Structure 1
């Protein structure tokens, strides 16, 4: 089975690393000459509008998928006519447009924050009057890791928000006073079979994910699984889907969905009997999904901007370092550390290992009573 991937970043890289055990070949269409996935498969180094490269890519692939919702929608629509392409166009269309995504959730009684569509600066004031402060103005399309967002805490922020509204269609969201951020990842096969991973509890800083801890018996697991299942069924989804959620006083609110493998699921190779990357490849290639089984408690720490000393990481019991092979740059995701906690490990030992991993990547300030609560609970 030959699987063509649009994009060749770290998510494509990790899908490629999961491919050999499934007897799959992978190829990438991506314009970057230094794409970190390129060493793991065939690389068509070309822009998405290069007709010759695209024709060769499509001829080679048995099925096509993508690693980012920012891939051109028109390209995926075009590919879906000639080659099986997953996740389906309907899912990508919704995920690329925050207004469409929220309207889809509302139609399925899947909770979201209150929102208003803002197509121009003139609509901004009326929308703010409805939702009040604080609020966040987000571009309807593109934008990730905090990009394309303007916070409105008072009237002093209206000018900056109006500038964004003048340059792009937006959605104004009421700020949700959440208790915590969680996410859920699930896979759906072509025959409709769905397998859900355990919920992750997450910490972001400056709009970028820093830490995820898997939660075997999270109090919101049933609701999160219900939400993601409803979306998958409605979209006739195939592949892995991720939902980022806010827990607000015991009620879940969808922040956003991602029709792809996801950063908050990087713990799955050690925390479950198979990973989100394996799940995605199985689903898009038309194979059944084995029943998911819990393997161990674990945590994932993102490496941002600079790689830690390898010896320091490998000295931590249960730690595995994943280096994407990317050139260091401020704010760039360069790799991650997975921490596996054995059933016999005490809470104190788990916390000590987590603190050591956070220290390796300069994130010690993230640790505290919440981490203790995660590992104890």
Structure 2
């Protein structure tokens, strides 16, 4: 790909992972003239229904990875648990965005928090925990309540234990003992008012485009509802954008990133960064229908060296995730004239599984407060 020229139309974008994010990236790539090739271990992923081609293979199968690289012009990924060795191998064959540094930083909560503090953002206090004795020491240092998490592989509440009192320590010991991925991390409790996230994109030339923050509500550790505009002061929005910019530039990141933050009226700093996601993000799904350019198209633009698009919002919006049996409500939502339905095509309905989402649009200045 020439440094100053966009990837040519009819080129193929390789996507590692076959889930709903890869599905929506594929749908965003097509109107821009790009094909997608999905590489994933499963033969029934949602993205396979809408991609131009696919290769089913393990992430450590170098023969299939080499074949994959030979069919694509640039590579990206839909989730951060792709093995780092896979990205390192592929990047020697075809350019991969986001880069290996970004993936490795976000895969390990300790490395991530070290990085976030290095670039000047505030995080929850934290300590590495490799043993039960380490946990005892960390609890003395950080106090309770606190949250013990695996350093790697956890998401949507998996791989973590809330320690409210000493009675919860036994359960935390079990997490340490049964964690096959290595060490854990203890994070001090943050007294926050609400959670927001910023979706930010950076292109190959270093230009940045930022969507305004969404206000996020979770249920059972899984995102339930995102509301835009967020109920925060303008200076909070500006500060959140500035923090996200420092984070993405420090990684020399190319693509769309999600930055999750706590808003606190009691902390020394009103914004505490929770975590980053080196990919398009669930809390950015509202951009599909409420903005001129979605987070998915923005990612495709960034990795193909196209100009970044506008992040302006033309509507207020409530994004509602359809988790498990919630997907059965899709037909009822279809009766609402302001509802935009996005189903992921997953065959099996399971508790806690993201099956789709609904974007409910409202004119600027109006928003139904009932979520």
Aligned residue among 343, 351, 373 for 2:364: 343
Question: How far off its partner does 1:317 sit?
Answer: 2.6
Q: How does 1:238-253 map to 2 (within 5 A)?
A: 238-249=254-265, 251-253=270-272
- When the two chains are superposed, the root-mean-square deviation of aligned CA atoms in Å is 1.4
- Confirm or deny: 8 A CA contact 2:124 2:188 kept in the other structure: yes
Q: How does 1:1-377 map to 2 (within 5 A)?
A: 1-41=11-51, 42-166=53-177, 167=179, 168-215=182-229, 218-219=232-233, 220-249=236-265, 251-306=270-325, 307-326=327-346, 327-343=348-364, 345=366, 347=367, 350-351=368-369, 355=370, 367=371
Counterpart position of 1:374: none
Partner of 1:12, secondary structure, is: helix
Question: How far off its partner does 1:217 sit?
Answer: 8.1
Question: How far off its partner does 1:163 sit?
Answer: 2.2
Counterpart position of 1:361: none
- Confirm or deny: 8 A CA contact 1:181 1:244 kept in the other structure: yes
Give a deviation string over 1:294-324, Cα, whole Å, max 9, x none.
2111110000112224431111131011110
Question: How far off its partner does 1:155 sit?
Answer: 1.2
Number of aligned positions between the proteins: 350
Question: How far off its partner does 1:116 sit?
Answer: 0.8
Go from structure 1 to structure 2 and tell me whether the alpha carbon gap of 1:314 and 1:82 turns closer, same or farther (over 3 Å shift): same
Give a deviation string over 1:220-277, Cα, whole Å, max 9, x none.
1111111110011111110001111100117111111000000000000122110000
- Confirm or deny: 8 A CA contact 1:302 1:337 kept in the other structure: yes
- Confirm or deny: 8 A CA contact 2:15 2:37 kept in the other structure: yes
Give me the whole-angstrom Cα distance separating, in 2, the residues matched to 1:54 and 1:205: 37
Give me the whole-angstrom Cα distance separating, in 2, the residues matched to 1:95 and 1:214: 26
Give me the whole-angstrom Cα distance separating, in 1, the residues matched to 2:309 and 2:355: 31
Give me the whole-angstrom Cα distance separating, in 1, the residues matched to 2:185 and 2:26: 35
Partner of 2:46, secondary structure, is: coil
- Unmatched 5+ residue regions in structure 2? 1-10
Counterpart position of 2:6: none
- Unmatched 5+ residue regions in structure 1? 356-366, 368-377
Give me the whole-angstrom Cα distance separating, in 2, the residues matched to 1:331 and 1:124: 29
Partner of 2:271, secondary structure, is: strand
Partner of 1:19, secondary structure, is: helix
Go from structure 1 to structure 2 and tell me whether the alpha carbon gap of 1:228 and 1:279 turns closer, same or farther (over 3 Å shift): same
Give me the whole-angstrom Cα distance separating, in 2, the residues matched to 1:25 and 1:270: 22
TM-score (norm 2): 0.91
Give me the whole-angstrom Cα distance separating, in 2, the residues matched to 1:93 and 1:163: 26
Structure 1 moving runs of 4+ over 3 Å: none
Question: How far off its partner does 1:150 sit?
Answer: 0.8
